[in-house]
Structure 1
């Protein structure tokens, strides 16, 4: 049974995202919206509105050759590789839906529950602008806080080192997430996402899409724009160790 409210059994969060780079100090903000869905009960969006929101397993699969898996099955495959089995436990997924033919999710979060409804673990799925994807398995404390070493190339202006400290409390009427990166020489970067919940339905989706048109495209463009500004300031570029090539954007 899907416990989420609204006619579609999902929630839309109108969000404000802030990125703060410590040195040189740069602050980047943008507004948009995110979905909270149960992958086992995805929103039954009517066909006239489907161009505005689609949830596809291939937009999240780490191994994109496993094209026959659902979102839930792909996540369980990842968890099983780390010795975690949810059984009948519910999963809640915070993400950006594919809209107008495009999707880019810098961060998707899964809260994974045991059959008794307790949060068993969380998964932070990170995408970079070069098509790479990586998942971090987290075991948050009662306040939703967890840490993990950085293992994935995200920004060309940071090497793959350091440690993430995340605050990912399960969302309710409010969404309040924080991801902080600490490197050997100190605090490097913080991202926060704050939002207010609205039960998802036709009117809520249309209002969000009108207030934030081309939201999925805007995220990609804003990240690239900020990267160009940092590059023009002469910040050194760190190649992706997975390819040993310098990113071009």
Structure 2
């Protein structure tokens, strides 16, 4: 089995305009998309497209084929949404000149927990048919349930890591403007998981986020233990996000309204009503 779990530390450190740092522990699933049916049958607490303690639903990920809000590359739009998640990843990358036919995809994510989904970012590590890592995708989801994938192809690969700095044009935090740069460093998972995402504003790093973890077996016993060790994990994550947002507000960090720069938010799926509707005359 390629699928496993990673027991992780998440660290957020804001450097400007006010310093702020917090760390918390979680666990993440690393799922070989070719093994989902096997895991569905093998694991008591995990299901595919069905309710369980932990469940993966295809519709929660990579909604390619749906309307792409403020599409900056009209030629890059999958005309339909394959039902199978791996098929969507293969199709999405195929449009971008990356051939995954016969390859494998490892999805690092947090699935639905007792039916509730909140997953700030998922990572896809993609191998071709020869076993070479040829691409990665960082699929970012904000608290408005909008989704934006960022593709890191072979041209961004440096050794065992994919590196990409790109304007985000996406509303992630009310304390960060929409046109700052994301700087991704996605290292291919093995015994360790190591991911870093930095924010740069006018060339200055203002925020760093790291996700580091150690591989653990994906078994009924481990899932049962992690359920006790990390209870209500998705609710805890969203609570920490809002609790630390309150702290930033009290520190008088500048705040950006989501609807204020609707034109800058582009290439995202499932736009919130604050930007999906045309402005009133």
Q: TM-score, normalised by structure 1?
A: 0.88
- What do the CA deviations read for 1:15-66 (whole angstroms, capped 9, x no partner)? 1100001121111111110011111211225675242211111111334856
Q: Are the counterparts in 2 of residues 239 and 245 from structure 1 also a CA contact under 8 Å?
A: no
User: Are residues 64 and 30 of structure 1, via their aligned partners in 2, closer, same or farther at CA, if it must alter by over 3 Å?
Assistant: farther
Q: Is the 8 A contact 2:43 2:219 kept in 1?
A: no
**Aligned length in residues:** 239
CA offsets, 1:181-228, max 9 Å, x none?
111051111011111111100001011111000111111111111112
| 1:107-164 alpha-carbon deviations (Å, 9 max, x no partner) | 1111111110001111010010111110000132213041131232211111112322
Distance 2:58 2:44 in 1: 21
1:220/1:146 Cα in 2 relative to 1: closer, same or farther (>3 Å)? same
Q: Would the alpha carbon gap of residues 159 and 67 (structure 1) be closer, same or farther in structure 2, given more than 3 Å must change?
A: same
- Select between 146-155 and 94-103 the one with higher mean Cα deviation: 146-155
| C-alpha separation in 2, matches of 1:111 and 1:47 | 23
> 8 Å contact 2:108–2:122 — kept in the other structure?
yes
5 Å matches for 1:57-206? 57-63=58-64, 69-139=83-153, 140-149=157-166, 150-184=168-202, 186-206=204-224
- SS of residue in 2 equivalent to 1:172: coil
Distance 1:113 1:219, change over 3 A: same
RMSD over aligned CA atoms reads 2.1
2:178 is paired with a residue whose SS is coil
Match of residue 7 from structure 1? none
Q: Point out the more displaced range, 86-95 or 153-162.
A: 153-162
Query: Are the structure 2 counterparts of residues 175 and 47 from structure 1 closer, same or farther at C-alpha, using a change threshold of 3 Å?
Result: closer
Asked if the contact 1:145/1:165 (under 8 Å) is kept, the reply is no
Which residue of 1 is the match for residue 57 of structure 2? Answer: 56
CA contact (8 A) 2:32 2:104 kept: yes
Deviation of residue 68 (structure 1)?
A: 5.7
Kindly indicate which of the two structures has a greater share of residues assigned to helix.
2
**1:36-47, aligned counterparts within 5 Å?**
36-42=30-36, 43-44=39-40
TM-score of the superposed pair, with normalisation by structure 2: 0.78
Could you tell me how far 1:87 is from its partner in structure 2? 0.6
Q: Distance in 2 between matches of 1:147 and 1:160?
A: 17
The equivalent of 1:13 in structure 2 is: 6
